[in-house]
Structure formats: C-alpha cells, structure tokens
Amino acid sequence: MRVGLMTREYPPYVYGGAGVHVDYLSRELARSIEVEVHCWGDQSLDQGNLHVRGAEPWPLLGEGTAKFKTALETFSLNLAQINSLAAIDIVHTHTWYVAMAGFLAKKLLNIPFVLTTHSLEPLRAWKAEQLGSGYAMSSWMERTAILDADAVIAVSNGTKADILRAYPAIDPARIHVIYNGIDLDEYQQTRATDALERYGIDPALPYVLFVGRITRQKGVTHLVEAIPHLPPNTQVVLCAGAPDTPEIAAEMREKVEHARRTSHRIVWIEKMIPKPDAIQLYSHCAVFCCPSVYEPFGIINLEAMACRAPVVASATGGILEVVVDGVTGYLVPFKQDPVTSFPLHPEQFSRDLAAKISDLLADPAKARRFGAAGRRRAEETFSWTAIARQTVDLYRHLIESRR
C-alpha cells in the first residue's frame, strides 16, 4: 500500500497543530506502509518507506498583494500536485490548503480519498480577516472536498459534531473519529533549564505559559487581559509568534504593553521556538494555559500534559476530550457568539481564566498532582502507534471496498 499524504505544513516549515500531526503520523505510518508526503516548500527526503516532496505555488501569483492571493496559490498548487500522485493507492489530505488535491485525485485517478479535518472554515469567521475575499474560496474548497471524500477523519468527537452541524448533507457513516497523538519518548519532563535562561525566564519564579500562534482562534489576547487579575509579581511567558495579520499583531502588542504596566513580569518570545526549547518550557511551568475560542483537538494541551504540566484551558471543542476537569487541570467555560465563536463576555472569560490559574499557583501540590495525572492520560490514550494502526485499517477498508 502506498498513501499520498497532502499537507501545507511539513518540517522544517511547521507552525500549527496540523503540521505536527502530519509529521508524526507520516513517520509512524512509514513503519508499515509506503508514504509519500506532498507539501509546500523545498523539502526532499527519501528515508526507508518515507518520501517527502515539497512544491511551491505558481510563481506569477506572487506578484499580487491582495489577501485572496493565498487562496489562489493554494488552488494552483493543488492542481499541480495531481501529476505527482499517479503511483499511489489512496490519497489523504490535511486542512483546506490541500483538500482539492484529494478531490481531484479521486476524480482523475480514481483512487479513494480520505480527508482529515483539523478545523472547519464555517466555524472560523475570523479567517476573513486573514484571507479577505479568499475566505469564500477556502470555504468552497473545503465544502466541495468534505462532501465528496470517501472518508472524513475527525480528530475528536466534538469535531465530528461540528462537521455534522456545518455540513448536514454528509453521511454520518463516512465520519471516523481518530484522535491526534503524542510522541511520549520525545515529550517528557526534563530537568534542563538552559532554554529558560536564554529567553530571559527566571527559573526560580513560578510562571504561567502560553505556546501558540497569534490568531483569534488561539485566544492569546484573552490570556493577556487576564494578567492584571493574577497574583502580583506572577511571571507570564508568552511563546507567541506567526501572527495571522498585521492588525492582530498590533493589537497583541498594545495589550501586552498595557499588561506590562502592572506589577507582573511578562516574557514575550515573538517566534515559534524549537521543539526541545518548548519541552523545557512545558516541563518547568507552574501552569500551562490554552485560552482557545475554537479548538477541534488542541494538541498543545497534550504536549504540556506529557511534560507533566497542569493545564488551564477553555472548555470548547476537542479540548473537552483531552483535559479532564479537576483531574489533569481546569476547564474554563464561556458563552460563544454563534456567528464568530468569540466569547460573548470576553472580560468575564479573562477573569475566569485568571481565577483558575491563580488557584493552581496558590496550591503547588495540587498542580503537581494534576501534572502527574496528565502524563498518565497521555500514556494511556494518545499514542501514535494506535492512531497509525486505526488509520491504516481505514485505508485498507476503503481500498478493498473498491475491488
């Protein structure tokens, strides 16, 4: 069996959870089947069963400056990559950036088409801020592909419910829940602190940690607005880079500067840091905070839990299936705007985040207990070996059903 994994992100160009997912899934799948990864970039790798090929969008599209350029580049690359898929038995796409490659491969090459959805465009109205009128195009590509895929993998039961709500025409029997996973050998608590010192973090002081992109979805501004409500002199580490737009970058900067006028120590690392550094930050934080307003799974929480960090996270989407309230951390509910998914009462959400974070800062023994429970949960439920096995079983079923 030879699968074609289609993705925008692949190492070394990974900036989100979907890229992390494909990185580990491809390597685990390659233990038992042939894997071709087709991605954006200049990657080229042949390592046993794993073959990686990067490609770039049509260069003439780079001459424009309109926000919708990204949607056009996406479609151009999806068209071009069809020529690379002739030798595969099944195509498996990740995110809307490559969804049409799977759709076209099914139509033109007559091979089964699997689509993993890591998020849904109808539930991310803020993407219009990033893509402009191209948001209509990204939504069309996603809808067309989802409704035609032979199987849709949802990364959580919450995501399956979202798919059925956003696309009620889909047959529920075509949706399969297969979780994200974690490399438990790589993500584990370390005693090393050299990365903390390089980034200006005081290892002697407890700190609250955020790791993620600067985007509406990840809710980092809600955590920044919670800082004045934390105990005085709390150290807060914001590992936050890759802003979606100049506008949200400016908004983030303004809010951080405002929070710095309080008595709190804020360390803002304005880039996506290497994995070993992130593992150090997870390992030594007093609390990890994930304030996402929309999160189909939330692999970032799983990374933190594997490193024994107690988690305070928003009670939404797949996070509800990862973080166990009162056991591995705290879940913070909020009322969502049905159109934008943003909190209807953002000030209250920030205060509620601060209250749960403060509870753990005041009780280190409880925080350690939550952290240990988080590691156990990661070990018991989210290994990549089990996830790859479920994925290959689905591939075999789809291939055999065509014979």
Indicate the burial class of 194 (C-beta count within 10 angstroms; 0-12, 13-18, 19 or more). exposed
What predicted TM-score, i.e. pTM, was given to this entire model? 0.82
Percent of the chain exceeding pLDDT 70 equals 99
DSSP tag of 335? P
Gap between the Cα atoms of 137 and 145, Å rounded: 12
Gap between the Cα atoms of 263 and 33, Å rounded: 55
Residue 197 confidence (pLDDT) above 80: yes
Buried b / exposed e over 34-68, threshold 16 CB at 10 Å, is bbbbbbbbebeeeeebbbbbeeebeeebeeeeebb
| pLDDT tens-digit series, residues 242-290 | 898 899 999 999 999 999 999 899 999 998 899 999 999 999 999 999 9
| Residue 126: per-residue pLDDT | 73
- Domains of the chain (ranges; CATH) run 2-181+383-401 (3.40.50.2000), 194-381 (3.40.50.2000)
Structure tokens at 2: 């030879």
| Residue 94: per-residue pLDDT | 97
